């Protein structure tokens, strides 16, 4: 038993552009004795990098002690081959993090770790808890300084396991019904991998089997099916809402800690998940293409070209072009290597704004009437800069089409949307937004059309950011307070704003 940490530090990154909606983390876990679980976890996290680009970490056990290695930065910045070769064991969990509020510092990187005489516990969390203060109040006074919802949960789970002779499995089964919010959890002790999903199943979570295609043997859990693909695992099934899995040498055991009340996040289909991921049996790319088709039928326009805002707008643009008969073209080139940077841009570069990530193909755009397809508008700053850039490149008209409904409400379950006061659609009409971003026209797909494209029943989806109907209610008095306590934020007396 024991723990060791990386000691590197990197400065906070600076992004001169408005960020798109951010998810609060991706999780991965593997139980595969005799295999290179550190490298399997690395590649799993690599596939989930889009879910969190702030920090990355791996916890690994060789059966005697847990080692945690984590740092600020992208997965490829945190780990190299020498590091992975030194991390040997039979089971591991991994995490890539994006903090919605609170301090984006090394201390808050995951997996979190708790050490006691009885054994160690490492835990990674995708989602956001909405009753963190109540959970923190259950901790002994000596550990109420926890600075994230995940750390609070780790300490509580360890306390439950260390008290009254409970096993980790028993502790989780007793504690998890008391936890409210969105959580897809991977956690481990020295010998066993565990996975648990909140009763609403808000964030995606899947179970896979190693061995059929990779040559390795064992089990994998991950935020998205794309992570299974990259490590050669075969999809077995989704982890059910309200389900706890225990994975060890005896195989996979399933228990229910709460009845399922399915409310999967609709925005996963819009933006968050990779297009090659499958959620609830529906391929995300197919959903996005179908949304584009429906958007074209709902909001046609006379134009010369349909161009996407890469990459998230591309599938919907393909569908829009297909249904409208307007030719599809790549009018914007994305610099895939910009991403999140740790270099503070100069004022001159900051003024270039969106050109750091997107650059127009003037030869394609000049003199053309454009339909520009994007996935969402949150604050409007990026869309405004994009329209300006296209007009500067010679576009005759710019008609913006959005493959999601207006984002009207903040998310309390793990997506970094702005407060309602900052959401442009909550404060302006569609025509006013069009004028604000200087588009010739603007239209959003209807909510019912988006739901139909997902092929998931409306009552099994969380649509709160679009319609304000929250499946796990956060009362009005606590909503303002809660905005300071989002996943990877700070609970209790240590609340911190952005």
Active site residues: 25
Q: Please answer whether residues 95 and 124 qualify as being in contact, where contact means their C-beta atoms are separated by less than 8 angstroms.
A: yes
Question: Across the chain, which distance is largest between two alpha carbons, in Å?
Answer: 74
Task: In whole angstroms, give the CA distance from residue 338 to residue 316.
Answer: 23
CA angle 374, 375, 381 (to 5 degrees): 70
Instruction: Identify which of 97, 11, 95 has the alpha carbon closest to the alpha carbon of residue 45.
Output: 95
In angstroms, what CA-CA distances link 89 with 35, 64, 80?
Answer: 8, 9, 17
Task: In whole angstroms, give the CA distance from residue 272 to residue 182.
Answer: 15
112-116 and 119-129 beta bridge pairing:
antiparallel
Q: Is 398 helix (H, G, I), strand (E, B) or coil?
A: strand
Task: In whole angstroms, give the CA distance from residue 209 to residue 200.
Answer: 24
Q: Is 55 helix (H, G, I), strand (E, B) or coil?
A: strand
Q: Give the single-character DSSP code of 190.
A: S
Environment class of 348 (CB within 10 Å of its CB; exposed 0-12, middle 13-18, buried 19+): exposed
Instruction: Identify which of 147, 98, 146 has the alpha carbon closest to the alpha carbon of residue 126.
Output: 98
Instruction: Identify which of 457, 407, 283, 439 has the alpha carbon closest to the alpha carbon of residue 20.
Output: 407
């Amino acid at each position: 038993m024991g723990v060791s940490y990386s000691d590197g530090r990197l400065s906070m990154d600076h992004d001169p552009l408005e960020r798109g909606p951010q998810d609060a983390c991706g999780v991965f876990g593997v139980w595969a004795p005799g295999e290179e679980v550190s490298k399997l976890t690395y590649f799993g996290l690599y596939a989930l990098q889009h879910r969190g680009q702030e920090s990355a970490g791996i916890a690994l056990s060789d059966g005697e002690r847990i080692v945690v290695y984590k740092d600020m930065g992208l997965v490829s910045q945190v780990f190299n081959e020498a590091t992975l070769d030194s991390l040997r064991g039979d089971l591991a969990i991994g995490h890539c993090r994006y903090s919605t509020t609170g301090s984006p510092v090394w201390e808050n990187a995951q997996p979190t770790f708790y050490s006691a005489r009885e054994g160690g516990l490492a835990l990674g969390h995708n989602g956001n808890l909405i009753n963190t203060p109540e959970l923190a109040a259950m901790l002994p006074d000596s550990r109420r300084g926890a600075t994230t919802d995940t750390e609070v949960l780790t300490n509580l789970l360890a306390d439950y396991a260390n008290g009254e002779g409970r096993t980790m499995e028993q502790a989780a089964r007793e504690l998890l019904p008391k936890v409210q919010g969105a959580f897809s959890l991977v956690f481990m002790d020295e010998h066993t991998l565990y996975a648990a999903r909140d009763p609403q199943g808000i964030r995606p979570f899947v179970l896979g089997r190693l061995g059929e295609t990779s040559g390795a043997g064992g089990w994998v859990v991950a935020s998205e099916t794309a992570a299974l693909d990259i490590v050669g695992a075969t999809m077995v099934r989704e982890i059910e809402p309200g389900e706890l899995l225990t994975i060890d040498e005896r195989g996979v055991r399933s228990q229910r800690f709460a009845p399922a009340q399915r409310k999967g996040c609709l925005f996963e289909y819009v933006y968050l998940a990779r297009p090659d991921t499958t959620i609830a049996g529906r391929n995300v790319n197919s959903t996005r293409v179908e949304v584009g088709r429906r958007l074209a039928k709902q909001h046609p326009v006379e134009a010369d070209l349909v161009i996407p805002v890469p990459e998230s707008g591309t599938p919907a643009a393909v569908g829009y072009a297909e249904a409208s008969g307007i030719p599809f073209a790549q009018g914007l080139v994305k610099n895939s290597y910009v991403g999140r940077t740790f270099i503070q841009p100069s004022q001159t570069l900051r003024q270039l704004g969106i050109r750091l990530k997107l650059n127009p193909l003037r030869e394609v755009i000049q003199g053309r009437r454009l339909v520009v397809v994007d996935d969402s508008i949150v604050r409007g700053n990026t869309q405004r800069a994009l329209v300006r850039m296209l007009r500067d490149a010679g576009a005759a008209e710019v008609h913006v089409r959005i493959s999601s409904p207006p984002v009207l409400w903040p998310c309390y379950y793990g997506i970094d949307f702005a407060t309602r006061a900052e959401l442009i659609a909550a404060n302006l009409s569609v025509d006013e937004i069009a004028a604000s971003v200087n588009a010739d026209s603007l239209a959003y797909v209807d909510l019912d059309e988006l739901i139909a494209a997902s092929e998931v029943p409306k009552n099994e989806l969380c649509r709160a950011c679009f319609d304000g109907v929250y499946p796990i209610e956060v009362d009005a008095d606590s909503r303002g307070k809660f905005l300071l306590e989002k996943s990877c934020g700070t609970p209790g007396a240590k609340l911190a704003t952005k």
